[in-house]
Amino acid sequence: MSFAPVINALALPPDARVDQRVPKKLLLEQGAPTAADKRQIQDGVEEMVWIAALKPTNVGVPAFRDDVREYLEIAVLTVELRASAKPPRLIELIHRAIPYPVVLVTGHGGAVCLSLAHKRWSQGETGKVVIEDVRRTEPLQPDAPTAAEAAFLASLALSGLPARDLFALYQGWLDRLADLEAARITGAFAPPDSAGRAAARRQGLDAHARLQHDIAVLRAQAAKEKQVNRRVELNLRIKRLEAELAAARETL
């Protein structure tokens, strides 16, 4: 598995590079709350490499601190998964195991996935950090990308991201993931020109996913419904949700 196209796209400064293997023991100790999770890590992870540590001293971007979170550095990691691995759960476990916000590039079955997740202080345990929503791309073929994927990779360079602080920098990468997700729906990769537009896109994507799920549930119910009146009612609800879905698509 070659992670080079994605890592090169990030355009990381040489001073930030670490390029060290990370023992699987770290994940087992820090990222496996259950015995089943330990088995997933043991059986599913082939190799993890710490590619870079992005700090104010090597990227020229200030640290971020408020009452919710503290970003002193961003870790860039690659993880090669075995064929039998279950990527969604393993990606979440890896993000949980690392105390810093992580730019994670996972390889599985010849494809790669880029994932990120904001972190904040735990409200229940002092000093403990917990992850928020994990966002990840669909599997990519970086050696033979689609037009949208090529544009996405070209947008990842560190120098083109917000530099107010490390939180804004990390959010910039998260927004690029949202841009690619939107491109899979609209057919065009077009990063928004403002923070407000980026936030609107994220909300639109959440609404689009929710509406697609609700429509699928109603269609399944309508297919099984034997009462004509009830089936008509379900189909009308589907029509209304399809109109909302079209409106949500326009926000992307």
Instruction: Mention every residue, 6+ apart, whose C-beta is less than 8 A from residue 220.
Output: none
Tokens (6 digits) for 166: 């490390």
Q: Domains of the chain: which residue ranges? A: 4-191, 199-250
Q: Is the dihedral of CA 17, 19, 25, 31 positive or negative?
A: positive
CA–CA dist 203, 252 (Å, integer): 9
The H or E element spanning position 78 is strand 74-81
How many CB atoms neighbour CB 35 within 10 A? 8
Question: Which pLDDT belongs to residue 107?
Answer: 94
Name the nearest CA neighbour of 140 among 176, 172, 99, 89.
176
Distances (CA, A) of 124 to 51, 127, 148: 32, 9, 41
Give burial (CB, 10 Å; 0-12/13-18/19+) of 139: middle
Instruction: Mention every residue, 6+ apart, whose C-beta is less than 8 A from residue 2.
Output: 142, 143
Instruction: Mention every residue, 6+ apart, whose C-beta is less than 8 A from residue 77.
Output: 22, 48, 49, 50, 51, 94, 98, 102, 103, 104, 105
Question: Which pLDDT belongs to residue 173?
Answer: 95
In the chain, where does DSSP find H-type helix?
Answer: 4-10, 24-30, 35-44, 56-59, 87-97, 147-154, 166-186, 195-224, 228-250
State pTM to two decimals. Answer: 0.87
DSSP designation for 189 = -
CA–CA dist 195, 186 (Å, integer): 20
pLDDT along the chain (252 residues), means of 10: 89 95 83 80 92 96 95 96 90 90 94 95 81 90 89 94 95 94 88 81 86 89 85 86 85 77
